[in-house]
Amino acid sequence: MIHTHYRWVIVAAGGLLGCVAIGAMFSLPVFLLPISKETGWSVTGISTAMTIGFLALAFASMFWGSLSDRWGPRPVVLAGSALLVVSLLLASTITSLVGFQFVFGLMVGVAVAAVFAPMMACVTGWFDTHRSLAVSLVSAGMGMAPMTMSPFAAWLVTMHDWRTSMQVIALVAAVLMIPAALLVKSPPALQEGGDGAAAADEPQEAMSTRDVLRSPQFVILCLTNFFCCATHSGPIFHTVSYAITCGIPMIAAVTIYSIEGLAGMGGRVVFGILGDRFGAKHILVLGLFAQAFGALAYIFTGGLASFYLVAGIFGFIYAGVMPLYAVIARENFPLRMMGTVIGGTAMAGSLGMALGPVAGGLIYDTFASYTWLYVGSWGIGLGAFLIAMTFRPVPKGREALATA
């Protein structure tokens, strides 16, 4: 019975850890102009730290995920939390742009990666029922960052300089994340197994790590996640700028992003419930198809009301589909390798996220219009849908090796 109740503690801890970690990383856009004004560094140079952070998050995801498979999620998440605190404190004292790019970009990105894949893997192992909902709630906690940590950072920087503000965020991360990390426990099946051996009815229990990474199911999940994230990353990053080019004032345009974020919170919960009822793969496929046309719908917007409508629908969909990858991974691969598998899919997704901002900028610079960004996102989104359609579950039991 304690497992039944404690699994929701794991969900709450995962949501809190993700919210603070993602929020700390995304405080950089809030601090962007104050940093530039105080240091004289270029906006492009400071922004490069965010690009480095995305790449670091991508490539560190599988590393941390593999460590969580070996050591358990608690020490990994605890190490990531401590690294995040140290990185923020160091970044607040840096006096060179290159140093700032290294510390805030590389170190913070690596630290944030220690939270996502290990916690997602941990949560999937705690739940046999309501798994999609549980993973979606953890993702929703992470999605709270723009509505909690970002306004907090904005308030801090109006009261203090950016260095002091970043130090306060480091303190908040220490106070909230380290105790939350101590609440994290390995799933009961791995606790009882001791060496992480799977039970007899564990999905694909005979597969080795090499078998998993070479399986078509893992490759399809990674490719789908890459194209899925590439679909929505451009619209996420450029829609505010697009709205401004349509004549919408800056202050009003920024609220479009807020609408998108709020809708995404509901999307995570609704898609989680639907995934539990109808199957995560079916809901993911339908969601990817809808996401493609949600991106395309932006080219038909003009006024603020139409932007709100499309942003709400698009945010609801793209945020809703993202947690389903972890659920599908748990349904098809052994629990003892969840950190590695989810870390791999997260790496692919982060690389897709890094593509959109650059591609959108190049498209606008070339055509002086964002139209082809949304048309391109539509095409990429249909690609994600078609790739997901080819996914077939890994056979259960020891016959998995013969058919994978």
Phi, psi of 396 (to 5 degrees): -75, 155
Q: What is the pLDDT of residue 3?
A: 60
Q: Do 2-185 and 209-392 have matching folds? A: yes
Q: Which residues of the chain have pLDDT under 50?
A: 1-2, 194-200, 398-404
Please state the domain extents for the chain.
Answer: 2-185, 209-392
Contact yes or no for 51/43 (Cβ under 8 A) = no
Encode 283-330 in three state secondary structure.
HHHHHHHHHHHHHHHHHHCCCHHHHHHHHHHHHHHHHHHCCHHHHHHH
Model's pTM, two decimal places?
A: 0.80
Taking Cα atoms as reference points, which of 16, 146, 60, 95 lies closest to residue 347? 60
- CATH class assigned to 2-185: mainly alpha
Superfamily of domain 209-392, CATH level 4: MFS general substrate transporter like domains (1.20.1250.20)
Q: What is the pLDDT of residue 401?
A: 44
Contact yes or no for 64/167 (Cβ under 8 A) = no
